Amino acid sequence: MSEKCVRMEVTDKVALVTLDRPPVNALNRDMRYQLVALFDEISARDDIMCAVLTGNGNVFCAGADLKDRPNNDIPGDFLEHNRITRETGNAIRECAKPVIGAVNGAALGAGMGLAAACDILYASDNATFGMPEINVGLAGGASMLRTLFGRSTARRMFFTGQRLTAADLLRRNVLEDVLAPEELLPVTMALASEIASKAPLAIIYAKRAANMVDVMPQRDAYRFEQEFTMALSKTEDAREARLAFLEKRAPQFKGR
């Protein structure tokens, strides 16, 4: 039986997902499978409407575990490794519920990929970010970097392995805020609770729309969003939200 490397705690519709593989939360294959399974579970559970992803200790995730590289002598092992590596980020990015990244330390290589897959990003003031694969004779992560940075910064990080600080990312509008380590989880959990208080169907549709419009022309993207808005306007929750607004009370959503 594989060691449990990812923990999840659910409180008031918010899932706190913690990377927990000491000493630096490096990703091995088992940990990737656990992450995929957990975020698929979050997508399917009605009692979870938002998630926060963080790391245990002083490191968010130092990247892939170099002791767990695929074996070229085993047919198909590299393909399986590559597939689960892709799906780790996809499970977060495609999660039906919003995911807030609470980056509590170094996020390097595949660890930065996890952060890039989140919808909203906060970091502690000791966090650093980088793609150091070039320093060990590998190359990877350009597709992740380009979702966060402009062309020049992404390529500089990709070609040099240089790290940026949380303050650097805040200046580039990659992060929402940089916080003291002890403030990181309270702030991100409070935001997650606010998101989780919204109409459940609206949250799910909003996440889906945000993902889709990223890869669509503006004209098609706006039409796509309008179709979601039209569908949501017919739900019980939308009617309840309007009535609650008129009656100056908190809405009671039922997810339908």
Burial 196-214 (b: 16+ CB within 10 A, else e): bbbbbbbbbbbbebeeeee
Q: For the residues 56-63, what does the mean pLDDT come to? A: 96
pTM of the model: 0.89
Average pLDDT over residues 95-117: 97
- pLDDT at residue 224, rounded to an integer: 67
Each residue's pLDDT tens digit, 124-169: 999 999 999 888 888 877 888 888 999 999 999 999 999 999 999 9
- Range 8-36 average pLDDT: 97
Q: Which fold has domain 6-196?
A: 2-enoyl-CoA Hydratase; Chain A, domain 1 (3.90.226)
pLDDT bracket for residue 1 (50, 70, 90): very low
The tens digit of pLDDT for each residue in 240-254 reads: 777 777 777 878 787
Is pLDDT at 83 greater than 80 in this prediction?
Answer: yes
Percent of the chain whose predicted confidence (pLDDT) is above 90: 63
- Return the percentage of the chain with pLDDT > 70, whole number: 97
Q: What is the mean pLDDT of the chain?
A: 90
